[in-house]
Chain A
Amino acid sequence: MPWRFTNLLKKLLKIMSRLFNVLCSFLLMSLTACTASNPKPYIPATSSVEQAPSPNHNKISKTTHISHHEIQGQASWYALTAHGMRTESGEIYDLYGLTAAHASLPFSTPISVTHLQTGEQVIVTVNDRLSEQSEQNVLVKLSYQAAHQIGLLKYPSAQVKIQSLPRNHLFPSRLEKRE
């Protein structure tokens, strides 16, 4: 019967995707020598700033864990009034930068952000914190340029999925001193 077959196929796909995710998380963990097996969210052990997860973080209404290290949720972007302001990390927000605010990920963490409707992806660096009062339902707030690149401006209500990346994903350490 057709529906039994599709059911079986779904189960098979689920098992395969689980296997794949486990494989990926093993690879990721070995890359950063993460000692604690913490399934959510991925925080590199090499981070210098350890942030306790904010109380918002586990609210089911805001985010969905897709797998061990991918989270799906709502994204927003900075208004023009933020341009030139100091972020929580001390860096100045520039609308052309590829940066993001997150509730808890350590500053300088690169994250990939994929727009689930357009499929476009951008890698941004976390350098700011979301406001606990006004941004409770937001998973990540992007710089204008990052939001523009993934089509968030055109499709603001669609969700994104984010994934932490190793610290040295974008820049070898010598480049961080550049101007």
Chain B
Amino acid sequence: MMIKYIILLMSSVLCGSLAYAQMLSQEQFIDEMVIRHDFDRNSLIKLLAKAKVRPNILKAIARPGEAKPWYQYRPLFVNEKRIHQGVEFWKNHAETLARVQSTYGVPAEIIVAIIGIETIYGKEVGNFRVIDALTTLSFHYPPRAHFFRDELENFFLLCREEKLNPLNPKGSYAGAMGIGQFMPSSFRQYAIDFDKDGQRNIWSNAQDVIGSIANYLNSYGWEVSQPVITATQVRPEAVNKLLALEFKPYPLEQLEQQGLLFHGDKPKNSKGMLVDLETEQGTAFWIGFQNFYVITRYNRSKHYAMAVYQLAQEIAKNYVKTI
């Protein structure tokens, strides 16, 4: 009987201290914003009091990734509807896309494809208030608290820089914002005011979105007029070892020594990464070059990057028929 009471007492003390620890962390956050960035303490306290904890965000982030095989993932993004809408988007923003192509060397169809996959060309940009998403994940999700806390800091800074009310911007359940789904840290580093109207607006200004995505890819090392990815063969006994390498490009000579059988034209000193995709015929291989790797910097998924590339090819093919 006594033991039950002791356990009850100890667990309530524990809960209380955990809650205290969480509150302390929000207090710490406010402290840091005040000291580092000269924010007004009372304003921040009032603002954070208005932020709401969203249980469905916690559910979404804890859900294990569905990990569809490639041949089921592909038709979700590389389909007639998205191709057709991509062509329309290109036609509506042809001038900006051409300007961005000459400024940054990133092909128009790659930018269009990214926008198509991220938000269906701006149709689905997320319905959560960014402040809710980031406070929920910073202070109520320990596994990634550090990452989201940094994003929250960047979010307040960008709102101040762009003169936005922090309660207004909307985004995904993880705080990805606007037509290109930029995280606040990426916004602050790579978003640009491409039409020079005095504001970096990635929520409703297509020119800024297009320019920002191009700037992002360029900054991550997009190589002008270089291939993205090419089909390849691999020695069967070398597959596992090559796939165990880090998810980044290696010198092709090194990969060939390890069993890559690439029959395509190789630019000198080129680097690549082995990409395996499950097709309806079985596992097929590609060699992703630097530009493929750059697309994965937008979203660290080989499925995502391949879908961007293939959607881009289809959009480009269909776009030329219309001009």
Contact = CB atoms under 8 A, between A and B. Distances in A.
Contacts of A94: 230-231, 286
A85 B263 CA distance: 6
A92 B231 contact: yes
Interface residues of B, number: 25
B232 interface: yes
A62 interface: no
Contact of B281 (A84, A85, A93, A144): A144
B107 A84 contact: no
B264 A95 contact: no
B9 interface: no
Nearest to B261: A84
Contact of A178 (B233, B285, B310, B316): B316
Interface in B223-241: 225-228, 230-234
Interface in A78-107: 79-80, 83-86, 92-96
Given A83-B231, A94-B231, A172-B320, A178 B281 contact: no
A12 B159 CA distance: 76
A171 B320 contact: yes
Classify chain A: how many residues form its interface, as a range: 10 to 19
Contacts of A179: 107, 225-228
A10 B257 CA distance: 67
The B interface is mostly helix, strand or loop, or mixed, namely mixed
B98 interface: no
Contacts of A84: 231-234, 261-263, 284-286
Contact of B231 (A93, A170, A172): A93
B282 interface: yes
A1 interface: no
Contact of A86 (B227, B228, B263, B310): B263
A175 interface: yes
A85 B233 contact: yes
A95 B284 CA distance: 9
Interface in A162-176: 170-172, 175
B52 interface: no
Nearest to B283: A80
Nearest to B321: A170
B281 A95 contact: yes
Interface in B275-301: 279-282, 284-286
Nearest to A96: B310
Given A80-B281, A84-B285, A95 B231 contact: yes
Interface string A92-131: 1111100000000000000000000000000000000000
Interface in B99-125: 107
Nearest to B260: A84
B91 interface: no
A93 B281 CA distance: 14
A123 to B, nearest CB: 10
Contacts of A95: 231, 279, 281, 284
B282 A92 contact: no
B285 A83 contact: yes
B307 to A, nearest CB: 11
B317 interface: yes
A175 B264 contact: no
B267 to A, nearest CB: 11
Q: A-B pairs with the 8 shortest C-beta distances?
A: A84-B233, A80-B281, A94-B231, A84-B231, A84-B232, A86-B263, A92-B264, A83-B284
28 contacts: A79-B281, A80-B279, A80-B281, A83-B284, A84-B232, A84-B233, A84-B261, A84-B262, A84-B285, A85-B233, A85-B263, A86-B263, A92-B231, A92-B232, A92-B264, A94-B230, A94-B231, A94-B286, A95-B279, A95-B284, A96-B310, A144-B279, A170-B317, A171-B317, A178-B316, A179-B107, A179-B226, A179-B228
Interface of A: 79-80, 83-86, 92-96, 144, 148, 170-172, 175, 178-179
Given A83-B233, A84-B285, A85-B233, 7 more contacts: A84-B233, A84-B234, A84-B261, A84-B286, A170-B317, A175-B316, A179-B107
